[in-house]
Each structure stands twice: as structure tokens, then as C-alpha cells.
Amino acid sequence: MAQAFWRRGMNGTATFSLFFRGYPPDRAFYAVAGIDSALAHIESARFTGEDIDYLRATTPLMPDFLEALADFRFSGSVRLVSEGSVVFADEPVLEVTAPLVEAQILETALLNAVTFQSAVLTKAVRIKQAAGDRPLVEFGARRAQGDEAADLASRCAAIAGFSGTSNLRAAARFGIPSTGTMAHSFVQSFEDELTAFRAYASEFPKSTTLLVDTYDVEQGIRNAITVGTEMRAQEHNLNAIRLDSGDMDALSRRARRMLDDAGLTEVKIIATGGLDEHSIAKLVSDGAPIDAFGVGTRYVVSADAPYLDSVYKLVTYDRRNSRKLSPGKATLPGPKQVFRTSQNGIFTGDYIGTAREAPPNGSQPLLETVFKNGKPKAEPDDIETVAAKLQQQLEMLPEEVKRLKDPEPYSVRLTPALESLIERIDS
């Protein structure tokens, strides 16, 4: 496609708009992530000599076009909503305005960055919502879809307010808190469970969490109580026990009673093993005495919604606004802006409008210019800024839109200016 454009001199200015179509089950909003990765892609997009040689050898692309690719640099502009923002279906998340070939070539990289990371940040937000004030740790790396996915999911968990990740590589890479734990293999490596627990407690007396379900859970809890009592005598406290299988509600109540009866009221109970927002919400609402949750697999791949229906669509070329009309997949034409209204600190509805119109009364525009003439206008937001942005937006989002099951749709309308642009194009 790029060659056909280039050889025809079709390198007029194009605008592409990246947005989500509809929602996966039980969602009525998206928390945007991947902006950082998307901007890095735009800035570093190049064709190396090796790339050009490969294309020459394996594709029908022409020598003159390949030469042009060797000089490829992004020279356009990018407007986008900042990472950590809440957005809704059909709203532009990111718009690229650039010579047609440049804007087109970025499609796959931008969609890849924003789709996966927004899916997983939205999942993290849902899990955090279910857990409420109870701390959450993330340990999904082993089941993530590749190394990079593991790291990006750990980053999104930190943005959503998780307390730690077991992924040390991600912790180092993004400067987020790491956390360790004991696996069943640790217990199995010793002659018996009690010996294993004592060994761990003597190694990390300030942060001992004992996994109690390797053999028999009740005996595991009794062994943890023995070690917890021994730690007391040395003026240390057992931090927690961890339940990783079985009926979490019943087991946590049983464990709490046993710990309390032994005077270990300060020892916490952590639940892990196949948890997601729905099972956590149920445990919390049923009053299970669980102090913290760990999530892995179902979080890291966003198991109930492993992809989002994201698209990157041409909306203007060479001053001609345009829209695709495929059934169920029609797009809104032209460069656009999102205007958000709020009242008493709660969002009350969005308008999708044209990029150049004045904000409707009292509304805030969401998209900001971050690249101009191929140059970034500022450093990407750091992770604390993104987390704070997200937190603030979630506080302003109506409760019924945040509901974990059967949420209500948020009001998104078109401005009269965009409505009349659509009419002009369709007629």
C-alpha cells in the first residue's frame, strides 16, 4: 500500500484515528495504556539496511521505493489522550496527522501498543475495584503471552495501584515495587513442612508469608501457628499465611479462627489461585477474612477479554474527510476531539466533536498535541503521573458505569458540528 501511494505521489496529509469499537462483556469504559510504548514506536520508527535488504529479497517492492524507506522518519503530528485516562467506545484515543505513507506505516505498532495495554490496565482497574482497600499483588509472568507482555502487565498493575509484582525484571525496568513469595517447591524441598516454614522464617523474619496448602491445609495452618508463636518469642511477627487452593471463603474463616485462638491476631491471610475481579468481589462482599489478594493468570492475559476491538482508521486525506461504511463498522470522519462534561466532581457525559470547534459549554477537551513536526513536545508521563491521572478519573466516573457486572452505558454524543460533517459526506 505504501509503495502504491508513494509511486503515485500520494503523499498528501492524512489523519488516522485510533479508537475502540464497542466493549467486551461487562465493560462500559476503557482505561488507556500503551501511550508510552506508542510514542516510543513513533520516535524510533526506521528501516535499517538489513530491513531494506530483506524487503528487496522477499517482496515485490521496487528499488526506488525501498530507497525512500531507508530515509523514513516520522515528520507529522500526534494528538492523544494521556495515559491513565478513561475513554469510551468510538472516542479517538490517538490521532496521527502526517504524510499518508508515514501515518499508514505506523498502524500495526500503534494498535499493538494501545490495544493490549489498555485491555490489561482496564482489567487491573476492575480487580482493584473488587479488592477495595485490600492490597493486591501481581504474579502473572509465567502465564503471560511472552516476556514483553509480562512486563507490560506488571507496569499496568502498578498504575492501577497494586502493591507489588513478583516480576523482578519489570520491577527493575519500570521502578515499581517487587514482592517475593514461597512456592510449593520450597516446602517440598525440606524433610517436612514445619522445617520448611522455620527455614523461611529465619531467612526473612520481617516479611515471612507461609504457603499452607502443599500437603494438608489444616496441618499447614497449625504448622504456621507453631512458627508464628516461635517468631514471637524472638520478637518477630509472622506476616501472613497464604491460601492457594480450595474453598477460599471457608478456609479463610477457619484459618482466621485458628490464628486468633492461638493469639496470632496480627497474622494476615492472603488468598491466591485462579482469582479474578468476580471471585474477589464475592469473597469481599461475603465478608471472608482475607487481608490481601494475589492475581496471576486471569489478570495477565485479561482472560475474559484478551483483546479489544481497536482500529486505526483513515479519517482525512488531502483535506477530504472520509469514512468507511462497512456494515457495523462505519467510522466518524475527520480529525476529532473529545469534550468531557462533569458536575460536582462526577463525569456527566462526553461529546465527540471536530478537532477545531470550541469546547461546548463547561467541557474539557481530552486530546492534546504530543508530537509536532515529528518532534515530541514533552517527555512521556512517568508512572506516578499516569497512576494519579487514572485514580482521579476513576473517582469521577459514575458508579453505575464502573459496575463489575452489567454496567450502564456512559453518555457519549456527537456535537452538532460533527453531525453536520457526517451529513455532508454521506449526501
Question: Angle, to 10 degrees, between the axis of helix 277-285 and the axis of helix 248-261?
Answer: 50
CA distances from 298 to 166, 181, 275, 395 (A): 15, 19, 7, 25
- Of 88 and 299, CB closest to a copy of itself: 299
- Of 7 and 403, CB closest to a copy of itself: 7
DSSP 207: S
CA distances from 410 to 38, 72, 306, 310, 401 (A): 27, 41, 23, 19, 6
Sorted by sequence, the CB contacts under 8 Å of residue 77 that are 6+ apart come out as 96, 97, 98, 369, 371, 372, 373
- Of 2 and 386, CB closest to a copy of itself: 2
Whole-number minimum distance, CB 183 to a copy of itself, in Å? Answer: 6
- Of 276 and 350, CB closest to a copy of itself: 276
Whole-number minimum distance, CB 104 to a copy of itself, in Å? Answer: 6
52 half-sphere exposure, CB direction, 13 A CA radius: 15
Whole-number minimum distance, CB 115 to a copy of itself, in Å? Answer: 5
Q: Which helix (H) or strand (E) holds 13?
A: strand 13-20
Whole-number minimum distance, CB 292 to a copy of itself, in Å? Answer: 19
Class of residue 122 by CB neighbours under 10 A (exposed 0-12, middle 13-18, buried 19+): buried
Whole-number minimum distance, CB 339 to a copy of itself, in Å? Answer: 26
Whole-number minimum distance, CB 46 to a copy of itself, in Å? Answer: 13
How far apart are the C-alpha atoms of 336 and 80, rounded to whole Å? 10
Q: For residues 402 and 394, is the Cβ–Cβ distance under 8 A?
A: yes
Whole-number minimum distance, CB 301 to a copy of itself, in Å? Answer: 4
- Of 44 and 361, CB closest to a copy of itself: 44
- Of 331 and 385, CB closest to a copy of itself: 331
Sorted by sequence, the CB contacts under 8 Å of residue 58 that are 6+ apart come out as none
Whole-number minimum distance, CB 251 to a copy of itself, in Å? Answer: 11
- Of 5 and 162, CB closest to a copy of itself: 5
Sorted by sequence, the CB contacts under 8 Å of residue 180 that are 6+ apart come out as 166, 204, 207
Whole-number minimum distance, CB 288 to a copy of itself, in Å? Answer: 18
Place of cell 499452607: 212
- Of 180 and 287, CB closest to a copy of itself: 180
- Of 2 and 367, CB closest to a copy of itself: 2
Q: For residues 179 and 165, is the Cβ–Cβ distance under 8 A?
A: yes
CA distances from 2 to 7, 78, 160, 319 (A): 9, 20, 38, 19
As given in the structure block, the three cell numbers for residue 399 are 458508579
